Structure 1
C-alpha cells in the first residue's frame, strides 16, 4: 500500500533555499517536470576541500538585486525543456523549504528570464512529501492567504 502524504501544495508557492540565502521565491509547482529548476547565471566552477562547487548569480527584478550563491555541483546533465530542446545544465543540491518542511533537493540552473516564475519545483522534489492541489495557490506559503482557482 502506498502512503499518501498529508501535506498539499498549490500550483504556486513561496519557497526558501536557506543555505543560499534565498527566501520567499515564487515557485511554480510542475508535476510534468522531473527536475526542479532555478533561474540563475552560472559564473564559475571551483573546488573546495576536494568537493566540486558552482558559483552562480540569482537576479531579482525587484528591487534589482543580484545574489551570488555557491552550492555543491552534483552533475552536468542534459535537461529537456518544456519546448522539447535538450540543454546541458549544471545541477546543484541544496536544502529547500516549502512551508514547514525542509529537505535537500536537486535543481538545474537555467535561464528562466522568459518565465513568470524564477523557480520551478518538479516531481522528484515533491515525491513522497506533498500532494498537489492544482486548484489552489499558496497552501504552504506563510503570510499569504490560500487562493482557489487558477489566475496566472
Structure 2
C-alpha cells in the first residue's frame, strides 16, 4: 500500500486547476480533504436538453478582473450538500474533465456561491481519492512555475 501511495502525485493545500471543457484555466483552488465534493463558484442561468442529455448553463464571475465566463456542462444531479457552516444547500452538480498538474480526469463538481471565499474553487476528497496525496505544508506543487518551498507564499 505505501508503495502505491508513493507513486501518486503530491498536491499542496492550494493548486491551480484547469477545467478545459469549460474554458477555465489556471484557477486557484483550495485542496480540502474535509469536503466530499469539489465546488466551483458559479451562478446557474438555465437548464436545457441537448441530444436527450440534461445540461446546465452557468456563469463564473471573476470580480477582480471584471470578467464573466458563461459555461455549459452535463447536469448530473441536484443534491443537498452540507457546507462548512453546517447548512445544507441544494446545488447543481456537473461532471466535467478536471486537470491538476499532468493528471486529467472526470470530476463531479457542485456549483455554489463562493464569492465571499478566498478561492473560486474547492477540491474535495472524491476528486483526490486514489489520484493524489496531499501535503498541507506546501502550495502549488503541481504548478512548476509557481512552485514554492514550505509555507503559504505563492
Helix, strand or coil at the partner of 1:76: strand
More strand by share: 1
1:93 — aligned with what?
95
Give the Cα–Cα distance (whole angstroms) in 1 for the partners of residues 46 and 148 of structure 2.
Answer: 39
Give the Cα–Cα distance (whole angstroms) in 2 for the partners of residues 142 and 66 of structure 1.
Answer: 27
Q: Give the 5 Å matches for 1:103-114.
A: 103-114=105-116
What is the count of residue pairs matched by the alignment? Answer: 152
Give the Cα–Cα distance (whole angstroms) in 2 for the partners of residues 75 and 57 of structure 1.
Answer: 18
- In the TM superposition, structure 1's runs of 4+ consecutive aligned residues that sit over 6 Å from their partners are none
1:84 — aligned with what?
86
Helix, strand or coil at the partner of 1:137: coil
More helix by share: 2
Q: Give the 5 Å matches for 1:119-130.
A: 119-130=121-132
1:116 — aligned with what?
118
Helix, strand or coil at the partner of 1:19: helix
Could you list the runs of 5+ residues in structure 1 that have no partner in the other structure? none
Q: Does structure 2 conserve the Cα–Cα contact (< 8 Å) formed by 1:20 and 1:71?
A: yes
2:19 — aligned with what?
17
Give RMSD over aligned pairs. 1.4
TM-score, structure 1 length as denominator? Answer: 0.96
Give the Cα–Cα distance (whole angstroms) in 2 for the partners of residues 90 and 41 of structure 1.
Answer: 10
The one of 64, 67, 89 equivalent to 1:65 is 67
Shift in Å, 1:151: 5.9
Shift in Å, 1:130: 0.2
1:102 — aligned with what?
104
1:50-78 superposed Cα distances (whole Å, 9 cap, x missing partner): 00000000011232110000000000000
Could you list the runs of 5+ residues in structure 2 that have no partner in the other structure? none
Q: Give the 5 Å matches for 1:132-143.
A: 132-143=134-145
